[in-house]
Structure 1
């Protein structure tokens, strides 16, 4: 890549919106709720996922309500945010913005499942969300 290509890409990215957990207009682009299916297969079959763009990785957990604060504290150390999933006590989402790849999805799946088990809860699965519409977060798709 030439110097001018790098400058062009930098200038182009500067004007792009930043993906946050509260970005509107996101939709599920990949989901893994079958423990027998590899994360690489999940990402490989997705026709919506844009691997070069960040995504919101969202793990679905069920925790005893009295352990939710403990889980939030543990997860916050690595940039995860724990949010309620509806009105049912103990159903939560662990969310973080990141670029997805099969290795990191598998590592985080194991981590979330282990955390849920240690806290007498259950890991249900994960999904990934990215902005929908032309160009996603502003990059050519």
Structure 2
């Protein structure tokens, strides 16, 4: 066996140079951190994600850093378990008491679900307008197929957020 083949066989193919100087691995954002603040949000069905994220950039959202992306739904009680299981396939986790609490507007038309129960689904990801729109649409479909509604979404980052891996 050649020296190169031996090195590749013992380290998964990474060269010694890359292993030595490849940099540190980033630690994912912990959604349970106490210093998370809302940096972007939308509770308006007609507002585009790019508009909401643009507003968020002025408020301190860092587009290169991970964020806790939360979707706030209202579902019939008998649909919570199924919706949670389906969302878990895409890495979402349910949050029964989201902190910080979202400020959901009470003015204007807000659809209601008779006997509805609030459910917040969250996951950690870097957010851009395209992926925000895709996930927003996914959540709307998830809720609609179960007789529920989506109230909106918000994104949390640490106060004074820094780009991914800089913590």
- TM-score in same-fold range (> 0.5): yes
- Distance (Å, rounded) in 1 between the aligned partners of 2:147 and 2:97: 18
2:160 is aligned, of 115, 118, 133, to 133
Larger radius of gyration: 2
CA distance in 2, matches of 1:20, 1:89: 29
Unaligned runs of 5+ in 1: none
| Alignment of 1:57 onto 2:84 | no
Match in the other structure for 2:55: 45
Shift of 1:45: 1.8
Greater than 4 Å deviation, 4+ residue runs: none
TM-score, normalised to structure 1, is 0.81
TM-score normalised according to structure 2 size: 0.70
Indicate the residue corresponding to 1:34 in structure 2: 44
Kept in 2: contact 1:19–1:97 (CA 8 A) = yes
Q: Distance in 2 between matches of 1:135 and 1:78?
A: 26
How many pairs were matched up? 131
Q: Find the counterpart in structure 2 of residue 82 from structure 1.
A: 94
CA-atom RMSD in angstroms: 2.5
Q: CA deviation at 1:136?
A: 7.0
Q: Secondary structure at the match of 1:98?
A: strand
